Amino acid sequence: MAAWKVLLTDGLEENGKEILRSAAEVTDQSGISAEDLLKVVGQYDALIVRGRTKVTESVLAAAPHLKVVGRAGVGVDNIDLAAAKAYQVTVVNSPLATTVAVAELTLSLMLSLVRELPRADASMKAGKWLKKEFEGRELFGKTLGVIGFGRIGSAVATRAKAFEMKILAYDPLVSAEEIKKRGGEPVSLDELLAAADMITMHMPLTADSRNLLNAEALAKTKAGVYIVCAARGGVIDEEALLAALNSGHAAGAALDVFANEPPGTTELVAHPHVIDSPHIGAQTVEAQARAANDIAEEILNALAGKPLRWKVA
């Protein structure tokens, strides 16, 4: 009989399930409701989620045998970390698995934005040939401001350098020396806002980062600035961004994340100068396989009391 019981609530790639099955009984209840989760979570030693499932204090209170919660991905804002600590439940994630996928999506959003690719495609599908209307901009020679210069932010910078962009970086958690090693020029937030032709956000959602790009910050940016975000919904004040777009101060925005998901057809989502995608940053075959492998190994290590690579709490 397997030593431990593991519950999956948001699915997991088969390679990860196979790793878990080597030492545990695995139950996949993808899409389980919050109400039903409370009824069954008490049976399990480990819980693996993605972004959909909310691991609240109530969930943790209902799980007396729970030893570890794993997030198959990076962000853990859907897990109550303070409650996990109080209930002595370890929280782990798989922060390296999706770096390339999110960085590549960010570059694709940047290119789509300056060349208006979604609108160009839609016009062709409507039987129109609007060549003269699509005079875009180049990334070459532009200044990219990267807010958050961790794994993903620096990976974006590496790729942006292939377009010969100048990289400015702001990250209060990374030293100036380390920013330079990662290929960025360390600057203050105000310096970045004033100089960047395009700004891309790459930080978790915390009390400090919530609405970091607000009306006051946007007022400090260049006229015609482009905004890209594939980090977490909530780091941009969406009403302030909409106002900047409507006034023409911001030339465009590309958003993969929203304060409320799904956001519905809001004025921001429907704006003609906004490119939207449904939080697909990590959604590549390769990234999902890596995330499944990494979180499965980390969960088994946690259950066995072995050293952990990615303990969050």
Residues with a catalytic annotation lie at: 232, 261, 279
The DSSP output letter for 273 is T
Q: Give residues with Cβ within 8 angstroms of 129, minimum separation 6.
A: 123
CB 283 within 8 A of CB 101: yes
Query: What would the two tokens of residue 51 be?
Result: 């972004």
Query: What would the two tokens of residue 220 be?
Result: 């400090």
272-276 own/partner pairs: CB under 8 Å, 24+ apart: 272/119, 273/245, 274/245, 275/109, 275/112, 275/113, 275/118
Distance from chain centroid for Cα 19? 25
Is residue 125 within a helix (H) or strand (E), and if so which, with residue range? helix 117-125
H-only helix segments in 41-98:
57-61, 81-86
d(CA 31, CA 87): 25
